[in-house]
Structure 1
Amino acid sequence: MSQETDPVSEAIAGELRLMDPAVRTSQALTRPLLDPQFVEVGASGRRWTYEEILAALPELEGSTAHGPRYEPSDITGVLLAPGLVHLTYETTIAGSRARRSSLWRRQDPSTPWRMYYHQATPISPVIT
């Protein structure tokens, strides 16, 4: 399978795009990366819907070109079923770390991979 058609690689590329401040501040760039049924449970514990995250993303941490940026590490993924990829990784931003999990789905081969679910769990400074 080529890099362009590998579902895990495509999901990782989408995940990394969502960390880019230029994408985070543009609904036109963010919309195609999020499933209309998207839900997130953020590191704060807040539950976000598709419309809520689109409205808030430009103001959230990691959304300014000159501010702190997400630094992802150890991104791995697995194809759970046709059209469903699970990614796990860690991020650091402004000294705060979190473990993250995302589900990416593609309902039709003619549509792009989109983030369906995302969860972030803070990592205590004393836990490695």
Structure 2
Amino acid sequence: MDPAVRASRTLAAPLLDPEFVEVGASGRRWTYEEMLAGLPEMAGGTEGGPRHEPEAFTGVLLAPGVVHLTYETLLDGRRVRRSSLWRRDPGAPAGSGLRMYYHQGTPAPGADPHP
């Protein structure tokens, strides 16, 4: 959610699994490379500009090293429900190395469909 991370491939890349896929709130499908290339241009990616305000986090351990995270974000009056799967990087030390493997954003009821 930090604009500095969204704007930096160096900072964002370690958070995404190399097999990352996203289905965004717009319905577009993104791959790892597409997401890293597009993040700096997306809403919430500039210092001092509007940013995603996350809330209502819930996490569930699905299996060892696999976590399902749900939450909502608000940006410029647009609320989006988000769901992501995080999995442990097998090469990372114990207790670290979770990377986002899959993410989906869905506009919440009453959300502005044309931000």
Q: Is the 8 A contact 2:15 2:99 kept in 1?
A: yes
Structure 1: segments with no counterpart, 5+ residues: 1-18
Shift of 1:65: 1.2
CA distance in 1, matches of 2:84, 2:66: 10
Identity of aligned residues (%): 68
Separation (CA, whole Å) in 2 of partners of 1:51 and 1:61: 18
What is the TM-score normalised by the length of structure 2? 0.90
The number of aligned residues is: 108
Equivalence for 1:83: 65
Unaligned runs of 5+ in 2: none
Between structures 1 and 2, the one with greater strand share: 2
User: Offset at 1:72?
Assistant: 0.6
Residue matched to 1:102: 84
Partner Cα distance (2:83, 2:46) in 1: 23
Query: 4+ residue runs of structure 1 moved beyond 6 angstroms?
Result: none
**In angstroms, what is the RMSD of aligned CA positions?**
1.3
Secondary structure of 2:11's partner? helix
Deviation at 1:67, TM superposition (A): 1.4
The secondary structure found in structure 2 opposite 1:40 is: strand
| TM-score relative to the length of structure 1 | 0.81
